[in-house]
Amino acid sequence: MTRASTRKPGEATGDDQAAVPRRLLEHATKLFAKKGFDRTSVQEIVEAAGVTKGAMYHYFGSKDDLLYEIYARVLREQTRQLESVASSDAPLRERLAAAASDVVVSSIDNLDDNTIFLQSMHQLSPDKQKAVRAERRKYHERFRGLVEEGQRSGEFRTDKPADVVVDFYFGSVHHLGSWYRRSGSLTARQIGDHYADLLLDALRPPVG
């Protein structure tokens, strides 16, 4: 299945040479983001990917499965990234700022996945939805751990529950897709740094 290639030298090159499951995932992501999960027919996906329905159902159990795989890939990647940043030996504020900024950048880099997350999660079958939520929860908890660490050390204000702060921040992040346009004047990194600044400054202990 992961065999690199069985194609002959004379075959068409370009987009065609990618493995079929890859191509399906790729085009499905684009279509789901653009038209929504329910409005995208399996027929459209396979046509975009240049294969047939038979091929798709050979690799994926259902249309649902396709969506799930997209989620799983993104979640794995984001979790990996957060873990690597959060467990470095830099000072806490730097670690949180890096994590906050990175999640913005990666959300913008993969705007499509982000959009799908927002709009189509609830259309997964209940058990798959549960799996996704569980993974997502772990991610949030790791992030929250950073906030709580700062609260214990006195660097951050303690009059706001950490989970409220985390939900506050990830609300902003998840909604990037609804307003961010690549044609805008700010780069992903700039937005990420702005967002991280806003978060960190909101966490400063009140002057009172």
Partner DNA sequence: GTCGGCATACCGACCGGTCGGTGTCCAAAG
Partner DNA sequence: CTTTGGACACCGACCGGTCGGTATGCCGAC
Contacting positions for DNA (CB under 7 A): 1, 3, 6, 8, 20, 38, 40-44, 51-55, 57-59, 62-64
The answer to the question of residue 169 lying near a second copy (CB under 8 A) is yes
Phi, psi of 179 (to 5 degrees): -135, -25
183 binds, among a second copy, DNA, none (CB under 5 to 8 A by kind): none
Are the CB atoms for 67 and 124 separated by under 8 Å? yes
In 87-161, which residue ranges form alpha helices assigned H by DSSP? 92-109, 111-120, 126-153
Report which of 43, 152, 26, 102 is spatially closest to residue 94, judged by C-alpha positions: 102
76 binds, among DNA, a second copy, none (CB under 5 to 8 A by kind): none
The answer to the question of residue 168 lying near a second copy (CB under 8 A) is yes
The answer to the question of residue 134 lying near a second copy (CB under 8 A) is no
With CB under 8 A as the contact rule, the residue among 79, 81, 119, 129 that binds a second copy is 119
Q: Give the DSSP letter of residue 205.
A: P
What gap in Å lies between CA 66 and CA 73, rounded to an integer?
A: 11
List residues near a second copy by CB under 8 A: 36, 38-39, 118-119, 122-123, 160-161, 164-165, 167-176, 178-179, 186, 191, 194-195, 197-199, 201-202, 204, 206-207
